[in-house]
Copies of this chain bind each other. A is one copy, B any other.
Amino acid sequence: MTNVQNHLQEIKNSLISSVFQAANPFLAVCRTLHRDGNLLNAGGHIYQLDQYREIVLVGFGKAVINMTLGTVDVLGECVKKGFLITKHASDEEIGRLPEGFIVRTGNHPVPGADSFESTRQLWDFLGEIDARDLVLCLISGGGSALCSLPAAPVTTTEMQEMTQLLLSCGAEIDEMNVLRKHIDEVKGGGIAARVAPAEMITLILSDVIGSPLDIIASGPTVPDSSTYEDMAGILAKYSLSNAVPATINELLAAGLDGRRFDTPKAGDPVFHHVNNLLVSSNLAACQAAVATAEDLGLNAMLLTTSLRGEARVAGRFLAGILQQIHATGQPIPRPACVALGGETTVILRGNGLGGRNQELALAAVRDLAAVPDILLFTLATDGEDGPTDAAGAWVDGDTLARGLSLGLSPETYLDNNDAYHYFEALGQLIMTGPSGTNVNDCAFLLAG
Contact = CB atoms under 8 A, between A and B. Distances in A.
Interface of A: 210, 283, 301-310, 312-314, 316-317, 319-321, 323-324, 327-328, 330-331, 342, 367
A314 B310 CA distance: 9
Contact of A321 (B306, B320, B330): B306
B316 A303 contact: no
A303 B367 CA distance: 17
A303 B321 contact: yes
Total copies of the chain: 2
Given A210-B323, A306-B321, A306-B324, 14 more contacts: A302-B328, A302-B331, A303-B324, A303-B331, A304-B321, A304-B323, A305-B320, A306-B319, A307-B317, A307-B320, A308-B317, A310-B313, A313-B314, A314-B317
A431 B262 CA distance: 48
A308 B320 contact: yes
A199 to B, nearest CB: 29
B283 A304 contact: no
A308 B363 CA distance: 12
A301 B313 CA distance: 22
B330 A302 contact: yes
Contacts of A312: 309
A304 to B, nearest CB: 5
**Of listed A302, A316, A319, A323, residue having the most chain B CB within 10 A:** A316
Nearest to A306: B320
A323 B306 CA distance: 8
Nearest to A330: B302
A291 B302 CA distance: 22
Contacts of A305: 320, 324
Nearest to A411: B172
Which of A302, A310, A324, A328 has the most B CB atoms < 10 Å from its CB? A324
A-B CB proximity, top 5 nearest:
A306-B320, A309-B313, A313-B313, A302-B330, A304-B320
B324 A304 contact: yes
B301 A330 contact: yes
A316 B283 CA distance: 18
Contacts of A210: 323, 327
13 contacts: A210-B323, A302-B330, A303-B303, A303-B331, A304-B320, A305-B324, A306-B316, A306-B319, A306-B320, A307-B317, A310-B313, A314-B317, A331-B331
A384 B342 CA distance: 33
Residue picked from A305, A306, A319, A321, most chain B C-beta under 10 Å: A306
A238 B305 CA distance: 42
A254 B314 CA distance: 44
B317 A283 contact: no
A422 to B, nearest CB: 18
A309 B303 contact: no
A330 to B, nearest CB: 4
A210 B371 CA distance: 13
B317 A304 contact: yes
Contacts of A342: 320
Contacts of A367: 306
Contacts of A314: 309, 313, 317
A307 B200 CA distance: 47
Contacts of A307: 317, 320
Contacts of A319: 306
Contact of A308 (B302, B310, B316): B316
A24 B321 CA distance: 26
Nearest to A311: B313
B309 A317 contact: yes
Which of A304, A305, A321, A328: most chain B Cβ within 10 A?
A304
Contacts of A302: 324, 328, 330-331
A330 B301 CA distance: 8
